[in-house]
Amino acid sequence: MTSLPEPAVLVLEDGTRHTGRAYGALGTTLGEVVFATGMSGYQETLTDPSYAGQIVLQTAPHIGNTGMNDEDPESRRIWVAGYIVRDPSRVVSNWRANASLDEILVQDGIVGISGIDTRAITRHIRSAGSMRGGIFSGEAAGLDAEEQLRIVREAPEMAGQNLSAQVSVDVASVTDAVGDKIGNLAVLDLGVKQATIDNLAARGFEVHVLPQSSTFADITAIDPVAVFYSNGPGDPSASDGQVAVLRQVLDAKLPYFGICFGNQLFGRALGLSTYKLTFGHRGINQPVLDRVTGKVEITAHNHGFAVEAPLDGAFDSPHGYGAIEVSHVGLNDNVVEGLRALDLPAFSVQYHPEAAAGPHDANYLFDRFRDMVIASKKDAQ
């Protein structure tokens, strides 16, 4: 007879407590508790660097049935601060799996909890907003409730945190272009996913992934035909260094494409402000209107911050970069999901067009970027 896992408790900063069973490593972990609505793709979610500093709750009740494999990771490790699931699978049922989810969580030291009412927690966060939380298991589960709450409330809030240095590469790397080479692409790694690199290389770019601390001189040293800012964790208002470099990119009229965090930094480079969403967008089923084509696409999201911008019509960039328009809008809540410069070769979207895992409705954006770079090269000749 198999014994039950050890007790664990989830504590939210407002005092809410949920008692369940340990899942993954034993110990204590702290972070911002957020929910992700994808019913599949948990391996891609766990290895997405944008989740650094966050305790992720899966709204899908049954997690782990396909195990873990060596082909689907989006980066070099699991980045979530903690993991919350309702009903972890007791068996692995996929021919590609070479380990169980629980085994990898233990291997990477990820503290989790299972056997709790994830729907109730989701509804609570949906109304009260994302908040700090802690998972306590092993000896920590026996701490006094007031002591656990004190530990949670002393944890740093997500607002104001710059987490790029935690997830970025330390040394530049290069991925060769597939097919005819367009040119060198400078990718500032703020938490880039492997699927993004693969999609860019497939469009003919020689992809140079650069550390988040790279200067404009570092970027121009590779003789780039364009610059790309990746997704990533943290508060965009705490990334003034990368914003300053991006303004140099725009001043030089280098073509630019940014996704997720790269969209927020593009907004700030243009002179717009950013703000924290109440509970954010995290999942692979978010409807977005592309105002260029008039089509609605189902998209993969992972962001807790957004850009503040006028939704109707073009407006002037407060920092002097000409006319700007909101190119994409979230249909659930009218959040800005994309920006397009009308006088510069630059655009961005707030979601993940590589969508690993997720829908591929927005994959065309990589083609749009390629076409923009090719057109820009012709204009420069």
Instruction: Judge whether 319 counts as a catalytic residue.
Output: no
Q: Which single residue is written with the structure tokens 């692409």?
A: 185
Are the C-beta atoms of residues 261 and 233 closer than 8 Å to each other? yes
- For β-strands 82-84 and 54-58, DSSP reports them as parallel
DSSP notation for 278-331: EEEEEEEEEEEEETTTTEEEEEEEEEEEEEE--SSS-EE-TTS--EEEEEEEET
Asked if 260 is an active-site residue, the reply is yes
Active-site residue flag, 206: no
How much of the chain is helix, strand and coil, in % rounded to 5?
25, 35, 40
Comparing CA positions, the residue from 48, 3, 95, 38 lying closest to residue 232 is 48
Contact (Cβ atoms closer than 8 angstroms) between residue 93 and residue 66: yes
Q: Is the peptide bond before 97 cis (omega within 30 degrees of 0)?
A: no
Residue 205 φ then ψ, to 5°: -90, 135
**129 SS3 class:** coil
CA distance 84 to 22: 10
- DSSP lists the bridge partners of residue 54 as 32
Name residues whose C-beta falls within 8 Å of residue 198's C-beta, 6 or more positions apart in sequence: 175, 354
Residue of 13, 44, 124, 260 with catalytic role: 260
Strand positions, DSSP E, 101-175: 111-114, 131-137, 173-175
Bridging pattern class, strands 7-12 and 17-24: antiparallel
Give the torsion sign (CA, 74, 172, 176, 339).
positive
DSSP string, 130-141: -EEEEEEEGGGG
- The radius of gyration computed from the CA coordinates of the chain, to the nearest angstrom, equals 21
Residues marked as catalytic: 260, 352, 354
